[in-house]
Amino acid sequence: MARKSNQPEKKLLVIEDLRVSVEEKEILHHVDLEINPGETHALFGPNGSGKTTLLMAAMGFPSYHITGGRILFRGEDITYLPLDQRANLGIGLSFQRPPTIKGVKMRQMLEICGKGEKDPESMAQSLDFEEFLDRDLNDGFSGGEIKRSELLQLMAQDPDFFLLDEPESGVDLESIALIGKVIEGLLQRETITHEGKSRKELKRERRKSGLIITHTGYILDYLDADIGHVLMDGELACSGNPREILKTIKERGYDECVRCCVNR
């Protein structure tokens, strides 16, 4: 089934003319998006514009029906590839609203995500989450705790491509710094050089990529996203420098931001 795209290994993710319906209603219309290896993109857009839908469709959730277009991952057509196989290809998603699973402990979940190769204790430590290891997964977790739970699972899973759905919303100001640092690490975007490498070298070696939904943009203080996009009514209306986009949205609103984009 795997079809090769025109530029095989170069692009990490290619979304072509994607149309997605949920419950018989088309949510995404003709979305195009390309992400290169090592790049992180930010996704903006008003509530209900289809941001979560785009991530869920890219991950392969069956209730998000792809009715047109295709998705390529490392050149392979994954448009109809099942969820678990996409996860095993190296795509990981942090949920905006994950379910609770009773009787399955956080610790057990981390073992599952890490295929038993990662130590839950030390991972939890890095997110100050040790005391949650023996709780049922997401059971009664607060909004901020949910975010840490999701991130921790991704840390264990260690995908190459991260789909992060509002990782910082509902997180207190102090914890944002912690979460920001962790995401920066997961996406290999540390700017502090180590092992005597220059920033340029680090960037070239960087393999991890991401697509991050954010409303506030706080997360951008911790990692420099390469490109930003605005999703409006199920269409990608604008792409550009993420900080500029955020600034325009903050100052003049989504509509104005898109208009200025179009006129440019």
Partner 1 sequence: MGLTQEDKKALAKDAREKVATFGSDIDMDAFTPETDEHPYVEDISSFSQTEREQMLKAGVDLGAKNRSGTFVQKNLSVVHGRSSQEGMEIMDIEEARDKYNWLYDYWWKAVPVDMDKYTARAELHQEHGYFIRSLPGVKSIYPLQACLYLEEDNLAQDVHNIIIAEEGSELHIITGCATAPHVRSGLHVGISEFYVKKGAKLTFTMIHNWAGKMAVRPRSATIVEQGGLFLSNYVCMQPVGTLQMYPVTHLVGEESTARYNSILVATPGSEMDVGSRVFLKAKGARAEIISRAITTGGKITARGHIKGEVPGIKAHLECKGLILSDKGIIHAVPELEGHRMEVDLSHEAAVGKIAQEEVEYLMARGLSEEEATSTIVRGFLHVEIEGLPPELKAEMDRAVEISEKSLL
| Residue ranges that bind ligand ATP, judged by CB under 6 A | 22-23, 25, 27, 45, 47-53, 96
* CB 100 to ligand ATP: min, Å: 19
* CB 102 to partner 1: min, Å: 6
Going through 153-208 in order, the beta strands assigned E by DSSP cover 161-165
Of 19-27, 33-41, 46-54, 149-157, the segment contacting Mg ion by CB under 5 A is 46-54
Alpha-carbon span 215 to 33, nearest angstrom: 19
The residue from 23, 25, 102, 263 that contacts partner 1 (CB under 8 A) is: 102
Determine, following the binding rule CB under 5 A, whether residue 52 of this chain makes contact with Mg ion: yes
Given partner 1, ligand ATP, Mg ion, none, residue 27, with its beta carbon under 5 to 8 Å by kind, binds ligand ATP
Q: How many CB atoms lie within 10 A of CB 178?
A: 18
Determine, following the binding rule CB under 8 A, whether residue 59 of this chain makes contact with partner 1: yes
Alpha-carbon span 90 to 88, nearest angstrom: 5
Provide CB contacts within 8 A for 106, sequence distance 6+.
120, 124, 129, 132, 133, 134, 135, 136, 137, 149, 152
Contacting partner 1 within 157-176 (CB under 8 A): 157
Contacting Mg ion within 77-106 (CB under 5 A): 96
Alpha-carbon span 189 to 223, nearest angstrom: 6
Determine, following the binding rule CB under 8 A, whether residue 103 of this chain makes contact with partner 1: yes
